[in-house]
Amino acid sequence: MSTVRAAGERAAGEAARRRTFAVISHPDAGKSTLTEALALHARAIGEAGAVHGKAGRRGVTSDWMEMERTRGISVTSAVLQFAHRDHVLNLLDTPGHADFSEDTYRVLAAVDCAVMLIDAAKGLEEQTRKLFDVCRHRGIPVITFVNKWDRPGREALELLDEIEREFRLKPTPVTWPVGIAGHLRGLVDVRDDAHMLRYVKAPGGAREAKEELVPADRAAAEEGGDFAQAAEEIELLAADGAVFDRESFLAGKSTPVFFGAALGNVGVRLLLDAVVDMAPAPPARELTGGGVRPVGAAFSGLVFKVQANMDRSHRDRIAFVRVCSGIFERGMTVTHAASGRPFATKYAHSVFGQDRSSVDVAYPGDVVGLVNAAALRVGDTLYDGPKAEFPPMPTFAPEHFAVARPVDIGRSKQFRRGITQLGEEGVVQVLVSDRRGEQAPVLAAVGPMQFDVVTHRMAHEFSAPVTLEPLPYHLARATDAAGAEALNRSRLVRGEALTRLRDGALLALFPDRWQANSFRREFPEGRLDHLIAAHE
C-alpha cells in the first residue's frame, strides 16, 4: 500500500471518531453552563464552573476573557476538545448575544452539528430563530436540548408544537420528562421506556448528578400521576410518528429532543452520548468553484477565528484552524491559498478554553491553534498537495458606527496596533476615510456591545484607552469609486463613503433607508449593493 493511500485511510479512520459541534442559544438560556456540564461528564474537567446566578459564577472554562468573567456573558467563541467513549469531541462554545452574531456565524462554518439550547420557560427566542436559520442554510443538523426543566416553565408538548410550527422541523423526543417543568421527577429514555432515570443533583451543579435507574413499575408506584402522564405522552408521540430517524435528522428534516437541567447536570450524560451516536463525522467539504475535498485527501484547513492575547504573559496571536481533510503534523509547511505562499506550522497547539498544549498531529474535525500566525485572516484556507480553497466567510452589514481616538496621543503606536488586531479578529470592522485619515478610524459594528469589547480590550490588553464618538449612520451599502465620488459631492443626502481596511471594499454610509433612496434617485449611476444583514 502506498504511503499516500495509507495516510488517506488513516485520516478517514480518525475522522470517523470525530464529532465537531457547536452549542447555540439565545442569551441566558444556559449555553456556557451546558458546555461546562458536557466537559464535566466527559471527565475533561473535575468540577464545573457555573454556579447559581451570574454574580456567583466561578471561572467557566469556555469564558476565559476577563470581560466575560466580570459580566457573566460570553462575548467570544471558545474551543474545548475532550474524549468520550473512544471518540474525540471538538466542542465550540459560541457567544449567545445578537451583537456578536458574526463570531457565532464564523464558528458555524467550522462545525458539523449543533446543539440548540431552549429555555423551558421562554421557548424559541429571537436569537435561537436566527441561529437555526443559519444552520438550515449551511445544512447543519440540529440536536435540541430543552434546558431548565427543574424550574417552572411551559408544557413539553407545547414546546414541541412550537418547534415544528416555526422551524418546519419534526421534533423527535429521545428523552421525556416525568413531572412538569419546575417539578422534575426524572427522565425516561423513550428508546427504553422500561425504566426511569431519577437524579440527585450535586450542590451548585459542580459535580455530576447521581443517577438511579428505576424500573417502570416502581416508578409508576412512586411517582403516580406524573409517571402515568409521561407514559401516555410518549405513547401519543410515537403514534404521531415522532420517533428518531437518523436519515431524517441528517437531512435537516427532524431534530432529536432531550430534556434536562444543565446547572444540575440532569440529562447531560444522555445528551453527550447522543452527540457520539447521532452527530455526523466530518464529511467531504465543498470547494470554491465546485467540487469537494474528501476527508482522506491531503491536508486542508479553514481559519475560522483569530484571537490575540489569550496568553497575557506572552501577548501572542492565535489562528484557529478547522482541519477539513488529511493529517496535520506540527512543523509541516503548507500553502496559504490567499497568497500562494508557503506557511510553516512550527507552533501548533491544541486548545481547551484558555489552556493550551502543543499538538503534534490532528485529524479532520479537530481544531488546531497556530500561534503568532500574523499572515492568517478569518476565512483563509491552508492546504497541502492539490490546491484547495474553501468559500469565503460572509461579512455582515454593520449598523453602528463610531470614530475611535486614543485618549493619550503618546500611545498612538499601541492604539494603531490594537485597532488593527481587533479588526483582523473581526471584533469590529475598521473603516478609514480621506476626511479623517488612519489616525481616527471609524469602527463599524453589528451591535453596540461590540464597542464595549473594543474599549475594554484596548484599555486592558493594549494599554491604549480610547474614546468613541458615535456617528449618525445606521445603514451601509457596498459602492464603487464612482458612487463614493457622487456621495461626496451630493448636497441633498447626508452620508459618506469609507474604505474597509480588511479587503479594500468601499462602503457608503447613510443615516437611514430614506437617505439611501434619495441618493439613488439623485445619482442613479452610483452603485449601491445590499450587504448581508446579521438578522437575515
Provide the residue ranges of all domains of the chain, joining segments of one domain with +: 18-78+89-278, 285-383, 400-522
Whether pLDDT at 77 is above 90: no
18-78+89-278 and 285-383: identical CATH topology: yes
Quick one: average pLDDT of 285-312?
A: 89
141 appears as a binding residue in the annotation:
no
Across 191-195, 470-474, 482-486, 500-504, least confident range = 500-504
What's the pLDDT score for residue 51?
30
| Residue that wins the pLDDT comparison between 289 and 60 | 289
What's the pLDDT score for residue 72?
47
What's the pLDDT score for residue 100?
60
- Element containing residue 32 per DSSP (H, E): helix 31-41
Amino acid at 277: D
What's the pLDDT score for residue 52?
31
Cα–chain center distance at 250: 19
Predicted TM-score (pTM) of this structure: 0.84
pLDDT tens per residue across span 234-246:
999 999 999 999 9
Across 53-57, 74-78, 96-100, 427-431, least confident range = 53-57
pLDDT bucket at 400, cuts 50 / 70 / 90: very high
What's the pLDDT score for residue 394?
73
What's the pLDDT score for residue 269?
94
Whether pLDDT at 296 is above 80: yes
353 appears as a binding residue in the annotation:
no
Fold for 285-383, please state it: Rossmann fold (3.40.50)
| Residue that wins the pLDDT comparison between 276 and 424 | 276
Whether pLDDT at 75 is above 50: no
d(CA 154, CA 147): 11
Interacting residues of 343 by C-beta distance below 8 A, sequence separation 6+: 333, 334, 335, 336, 373, 375, 376, 382
pLDDT bucket at 523, cuts 50 / 70 / 90: confident
Whether pLDDT at 48 is above 70: no
96 appears as a binding residue in the annotation:
yes
What's the pLDDT score for residue 247?
96
CB 329 within 8 A of CB 351: no
289 appears as a binding residue in the annotation:
no
Interacting residues of 75 by C-beta distance below 8 A, sequence separation 6+: 65, 67, 68, 95, 97, 100, 449, 453
Whether pLDDT at 249 is above 80: yes
Query: Is 18-78+89-278 CATH 3.40.309.10?
Result: no
Q: What share of the chain in percent tops pLDDT 70?
A: 89
Quick one: average pLDDT of 393-401?
A: 84
pLDDT tens per residue across span 144-194:
999 999 999 999 999 999 999 999 999 999 999 999 999 999 999 999 888
Please classify residue 435 by burial: count the beta carbons closer than 10 Å to its beta carbon, then call 0-12 exposed, 13-18 middle and 19+ buried: exposed
Whether pLDDT at 468 is above 80: yes
- For residue 382, the cross-strand partners are 301, 336
94 appears as a binding residue in the annotation:
yes
CA-to-CA dists, residue 386 to 294, 335, 371, 383, angstroms = 12, 10, 25, 8
Class for the domain spanning 400-522: alpha beta
- Residue carrying the nine cell digits 499538538: 359
Quick one: average pLDDT of 435-440?
A: 84
pLDDT tens per residue across span 318-345:
899 999 999 999 999 999 999 999 999 9
pLDDT tens per residue across span 375-391:
898 899 999 999 999 99
Closest CA to 16 of 275, 282, 249, 250: 282
pLDDT tens per residue across span 125-158:
888 888 888 888 889 999 999 999 999 999 999 9
What's the pLDDT score for residue 494?
87
